[in-house]
Amino acid sequence: MRDFDIRRELEQDLSRLHGGDGLLVHELGLCSGSARVDMAIVNGCIHGFEIKSEADTLDRLPSQIEIYGKVLDFVTIVAGGSHISKIKEMVPAWWGIRAASSDGSTIALRDIRPPAENPAVDPFAVAQLLWRDEALAILSRGGSARGLRSKPRQALWGALAERLTLKELQQAVRETLMQRSDWRVDEQRIRCGA
């Protein structure tokens, strides 16, 4: 059972679950590209899905836990059965866990633990999901862009993190991602159910 097989089944499962309500992004970059979550659903929250096939190692998981924990509202790890016991020891209690198994012709996903809401989102890391022009547009709409138009994106992210509440920032980021039309080529954007 390869990453591709799990990814395909997970994508179909998420499309069934969310219907047309949401945006599914493959390889969503987080924290200025420090990590990419395999899939993310963007709608009323940002729910990331990390895939660990039987062929994968868990070597990168500690750094992924740290980065995903700064940005994502919910995280679910979808893993081959051989990884499940180790993953239970490694991931925070708020992460969801799904086991992927195969009978040779089909992949089955089984919930081990449902995800809970991330208790420690970092506003600056959330703002980093935005491109510079998107961050500036949000600041401009709120009347907070004065003196920032020529600043680098890090300054704009900092201003957003300081001037908006976390809930306001998360909502503005989600709305912006849903409206974004020119994703990078290697970030596949599809509507759930499409």
Q: What is the mean pLDDT of the chain?
A: 90
Query: Is-contact 35 68, C-beta < 8 A?
Result: yes
Output the pLDDT for position 184: 59
Which range among 18-22, 61-65, 172-176 shows the weakest confidence by mean pLDDT?
18-22
Which range among 49-63, 68-82, 89-103, 134-148 shows the weakest confidence by mean pLDDT?
134-148
| 158-165 mean pLDDT | 96
**What strands lie across the sheet with 46-52, from one edge to the other?**
107-113, 96-102, 74-80, 46-52, 35-42, 23-30, 189-191
72-to-4, 5, 49, 64, 146 alpha-carbon distances in Å: 23, 24, 10, 11, 29
| 127-134 mean pLDDT | 96
| 49-55 mean pLDDT | 93
Helices (H), the chain: 3-18, 61-71, 84-90, 123-127, 132-141, 153-163, 166-179
Q: Is the pLDDT of residue 185 over 70?
A: no
The percent of residues in the chain predicted with pLDDT above 90, rounded, is: 69
Output the pLDDT for position 182: 78
- Residue 170's nearest CA partner among 75, 50, 47, 65 is 47
Q: Is the pLDDT of residue 157 over 50?
A: yes
Cα–Cα dist 4/2, whole Å: 5
Output the pLDDT for position 81: 86
| 112-121 mean pLDDT | 97
Q: Where do the domains of the chain lie? A: 3-119, 123-179
| 129-141 mean pLDDT | 95
The percent of residues in the chain predicted with pLDDT above 70, rounded, is: 93
pLDDT one-digit tens code per residue, 82-110: 999 999 999 999 999 999 998 878 888 99
Structural tokens at position 94? 């708020």
User: Which pTM does this prediction carry?
Assistant: 0.90
| 39-65 mean pLDDT | 94
Output the pLDDT for position 19: 67
